[in-house]
Amino acid sequence: MDVPATVRTALADRPVEGRRCLEAGAGAGNAAAGLLDAGAADVLAVTNDREHARTVRERVGTDHPGRVGVFEADLRSIPLPDDSVAVVTAHALFNVVPTTDLDVIASEITRVAAPGAHLLVDDYAPLPDGASIRDLFALENAARELADARPALTFYPGGVLRGVFETRGWEFDRRKTLLDPVPWTESHVTAHADTVRDAAARIDGDLRNVLVNRTDSLVTEIGSESVGEMYSLAFQLPE
């Protein structure tokens, strides 16, 4: 499968060749594909979403037989021993991690990383005032909070995630910009609107219609929008 440019750029200065890697939050497996392409010995991909796990097995696993292990598991309790991986990627993970889970996931990533391990944290910076897509993300968070008592999205400043890992012993190496602006395409807008509609369907009362109607008009208003930054932070544990 094709490796997205953001993943290639983030991995370009990381030593991946011959190492055991963890993709924390596998999604579609883009980082797993990038790690394998960069010569990883093998990649362990963890996601708590059954559909994502199946996608990674199909999209990445079949191209690299014997080099991909997919775990359907919670990153708050990673099913790997201490000190067992040499490279960790959290590519576009933390924007779907609520503040309540941030510390425990960072501690678990640190526990499974071997001395000298490398870590990449790639994510979206908070969107600036005036960004229309922010209104859609606000609706998504409102709908998910009402339906599930959890937000859908949290955009952490790079400095916050840097501090979270530095306090766990990771040495900060560098920050890179991967996208500026971020192209939020029509298909992104549609996918986020669908999340609002799915969550709204689980809410009783008038609010459901308010959320859905506002989402429908925002999709038309926004179309697509290029705004914000995606950054990449690199760290290493002492040997």
Ligand X SMILES: C[S@@+](CC[C@H](N)C(=O)[O-])C[C@H]1O[C@@H](n2cnc3c(N)ncnc32)[C@H](O)[C@@H]1O
Using the rule CB under 6 A, which residue among 16, 40, 43, 93 binds ligand X?
93
Using the rule CB under 6 A, which residue among 37, 74, 135, 173 binds ligand X?
74
Decide if 68 contacts 42 (C-beta within 8 A): yes
The candidate with the shortest Cα–Cα distance to 213, out of 226, 196, 225, 236, is 196
- CB closer to ligand X, 73 vs 212: 73
Tokens of 62: 């079949």
CB of 72 to ligand X, least distance (A): 8
Choose the binding region for ligand X from 9-17, 22-30, 180-188, 223-231 (rule: CB under 6 A): 22-30
> Residue 14's Cα: distance from chain center in Å?
18
| Cβ contacts of 191 within 8 Å, gap of 6 or more | none
- CB closer to ligand X, 26 vs 178: 26
Using the rule CB under 6 A, which residue among 10, 20, 38, 47 binds ligand X?
47
- CB closer to ligand X, 27 vs 158: 27
Using the rule CB under 6 A, which residue among 75, 161, 203, 218 binds ligand X?
75
Give whole-number Cα distances, 138 to 11, 167, 215, in Å.
31, 30, 10
Whole-angstrom distance, CA of residue 91 vs CA of residue 142: 25
Q: Does 37 bind ligand X (CB under 6 A)?
A: no
Strand arrangement, sheet containing 68-72: 68-72, 42-47, 20-24, 85-91, 113-124, 230-236, 171-179
CB of 238 to ligand X, least distance (A): 26
Binding string, residues 132-171; x marks residues near ligand X by CB under 6 A: ----------------------------------------
* Helix residue spans in 90-157 (DSSP H): 99-112, 132-148
Interacting residues with ligand X (CB under 6 A): 23, 25-31, 46-49, 52, 74-76, 91-93, 96-97, 101
